[in-house]
């Protein structure tokens, strides 16, 4: 089974490999987003604009913590992809075992900390009083479910690191449909309010994680880890932390800027919060292909660096650039004609001002999607190559841009300032990432020359 489901990305057409890996991964991301998007549709339709705004007001805080968790898990997989590319399967299993130990510890510690502090953080973010309690209930339950998030991301990352991006997709499809059913039961039948949406999300995430666990344990011969390989190895843990923590911090540093921006949006009132929420929920779907290309490049770069085939990195980036630019043009066209209709999935059609603001934000952001393509592809290529510390620097640039938007643009230009926050972040990130990639490529070439 292992031979039929793993994929070696160190030979063959980069374009074909990237498309073959990214498309299932993209659909996986789309189904994963159902957890939050279905929550928002049902919340907005059945509980009203204030409840939707309450869920949306937690978005940046949610991104801060969940982004850190996802980043850490993705970083832990970099040594795994290197070992897989080098055909060192024993070393790969040792890294996987130590990643599991680290992930379990981080999940428990982080769950306790954020659950205790989330109410105070919402207050510091100037969350409107009329949505504060619902926002707190929703995000508290989400944070209590962090172990389920770690379980899925860790196991899905292990499976994908060996080239199998289809299996996590299948499990996400199943759990996404479960999420829809649970949302309707908890909100419409049991009248649990926003708490029901959060419970549905956590339970669905747990189910997808358990399915990945069962599959990885029973179907991959390469993942049959011996008792000796399960032993804690401080050297391996140090390598994992050097890869995972910077990637997690990169997401968190970026999210700090989003928290500052969200605080400014909260100051504009519940109407603005609802518009940003609806826009972000639509954008999440349209950004999935871009995120999938970036994540594909992490695996692609990791395997090819492990195999010493550095010339394939540039070919992979060029392939993603072509795909990304074409997709960006398509996304802008679709949102130009259908952006307001898509936003109306979350907001009642009578909320004219909210829908107009959501459309403005969607068009402004999608006009700059080509920049986001290069941010995602270059950043994940650098991370996949093993230079995770550079990820933190990228995060600082994005954080600075969103902080500037929250502190300067929004007070002076209102909602229009909110719309230009992400494009500004992508511009600054690329100004760092392009020379950073050139530096990484030259350093890898020198290392390969020395080793040979």
- Distance of alpha carbon 262 from alpha carbon 55, whole angstroms: 12
Return the pLDDT at 205. Answer: 86
pLDDT of residue 35: 60
Report the alpha-carbon distance of residue 370 to residue 331 in Å, rounded. 10
Neighbouring residues of 235: CB distance < 8 A, sequence distance ≥ 6: none
Q: Burial letters for 99-130: b for 16+ Cβ neighbours within 10 Å, e otherwise?
A: bbbbbeebbeebbeebbeebbebbeebebbee
Count of positions (residues) in the chain: 452
3-state per-residue secondary structure call for the chain: CHHHHCCCCCCCCHHHHHHHHHHHHHHHHHHHHHHHHHHHHHHHHHCCHHHHHHHHHCHHHHHHHHHHHHHHHHHHHHHHHHHHHCCCHHHHHHHHHHHHHHHHHHHHHHHHHHHHHHHHHHHHCCCCHHHHHHHHHHHHHHHHCHHHHHHHHHHHHHHHHCCCCHHHHHHHHHHHHHHHHHHHHHHHHCCCCHHHHHHHHHHHHHHHHHHHHHHHHHHCHHHCCCCCCCCCCHHHHHHHHHHHHHHHHHHHHHHHHHHHHHHHHHHCCHHHHHHHHHHHHHHHHHHHHHHHHHHHHHHHHHHHHHCCCCHHHHHHHHHHHHHHHHHHHHHHHHHHHHHHHHHCCCCCCCCHHHHHHHHHHHHHHHCCHHHHHHHHHHHHHHHHCCCCHHHHHHHHHHHHHHHHHHHHHHHHHCHHHHHCHHHHHHHHHHHHHHHHHHHHHHHHHHHHHHHC
Give which of 235, 306, 309 is closest to 89, Cα–Cα.
Answer: 306
Q: List Cβ neighbours of 80 (8 Å cut-off, separation of 6 or more).
A: 92, 95, 96, 99, 157, 158, 161
pLDDT of residue 31: 67
Instruction: Give the C-alpha separation, 396 to 40, whole Å.
Output: 30
What residues in the chain have per-residue pLDDT under 70? 1-7, 28, 31-39, 162-163, 165, 222, 251, 348-350, 391, 451-452
CA distance 322 to 305: 22
pLDDT for position 153: 82
Treating both helix axes as pointing N-terminal to C-terminal, what angle do 352-366 and 421-451 enclose, rounded to 10 degrees? 30
Q: Which pLDDT does position 36 carry in this prediction?
A: 61
Residues 45, 63: Cα–Cα separation, whole Å:
24
Model's pTM, two decimal places? Answer: 0.70
Domain ranges in the chain are 2-451
Per-residue confidence (pLDDT) for residue 32, from 0 to 100: 62
């Amino acid at each position: 089974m292992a031979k039929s489901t793993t994929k070696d990305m160190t030979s063959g057409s980069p374009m074909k490999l990237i498309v073959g890996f990214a498309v299932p991964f993209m659909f996986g991301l789309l189904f994963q987003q159902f957890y939050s998007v279905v929550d928002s549709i049902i919340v907005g339709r059945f509980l009203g604009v204030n409840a939707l705004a309450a869920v949306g007001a937690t978005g940046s805080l949610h991104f801060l913590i969940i982004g850190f968790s996802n980043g850490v898990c993705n970083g832990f997989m970099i040594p795994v992809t290197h070992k897989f590319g080098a055909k060192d399967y024993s070393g790969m299993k040792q890294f996987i075992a130590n990643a599991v130990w680290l992930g379990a510890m981080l999940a428990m510690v982080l769950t306790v900390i954020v659950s205790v502090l989330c109410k105070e953080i919402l207050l510091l973010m100037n969350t409107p009083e009329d949505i504060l309690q619902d926002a707190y209930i929703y995000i508290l339950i989400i944070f209590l479910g962090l172990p389920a998030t770690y379980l899925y991301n860790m196991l899905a990352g292990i499976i994908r690191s060996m080239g199998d991006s289809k299996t996590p997709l299948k499990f996400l499809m199943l759990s996404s449909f479960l999420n829809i059913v649970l949302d309707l039961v908890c909100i419409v039948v049991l009248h649990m309010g926003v708490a029901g949406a959060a419970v549905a999300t956590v339970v669905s995430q747990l189910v997808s994680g358990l399915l990945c666990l069962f599959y990885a344990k029973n179907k991959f011969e390469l993942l049959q880890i011996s008792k000796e390989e399960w032993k804690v190895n401080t050297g391996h843990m140090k390598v994992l932390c050097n890869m995972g923590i910077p990637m997690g911090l990169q997401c968190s540093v970026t999210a700090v800027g989003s928290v500052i921006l969200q605080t400014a949006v909260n100051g504009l009132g519940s109407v603005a919060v609802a518009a940003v929420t609806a826009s972000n929920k639509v954008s999440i779907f349209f950004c999935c292909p871009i995120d999938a290309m970036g994540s594909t490049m992490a695996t692609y770069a990791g395997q090819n660096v492990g195999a010493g085939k550095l010339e394939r990195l540039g070919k992979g980036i060029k392939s993603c650039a072509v795909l990304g630019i074409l997709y960006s043009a398509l996304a802008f066209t679709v949102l130009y004609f259908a952006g307001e209709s898509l936003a109306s999935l979350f907001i009642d059609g009578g909320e004219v001002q909210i829908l107009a603001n959501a459309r403005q934000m969607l068009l402004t952001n999608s006009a700059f999607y080509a920049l986001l393509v290069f941010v995602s592809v270059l950043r994940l290529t650098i991370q996949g190559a093993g230079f995770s510390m550079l990820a933190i620097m990228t995060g600082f640039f994005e954080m600075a841009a969103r902080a500037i938007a929250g502190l300067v643009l929004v007070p002076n230009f209102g909602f229009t300032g909110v719309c230009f926050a992400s494009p500004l972040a992508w511009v600054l990130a690329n100004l760092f990432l392009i020379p950073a990639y050139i530096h990484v490529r030259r350093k890898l070439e020198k290392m390969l020359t020395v080793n040979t």
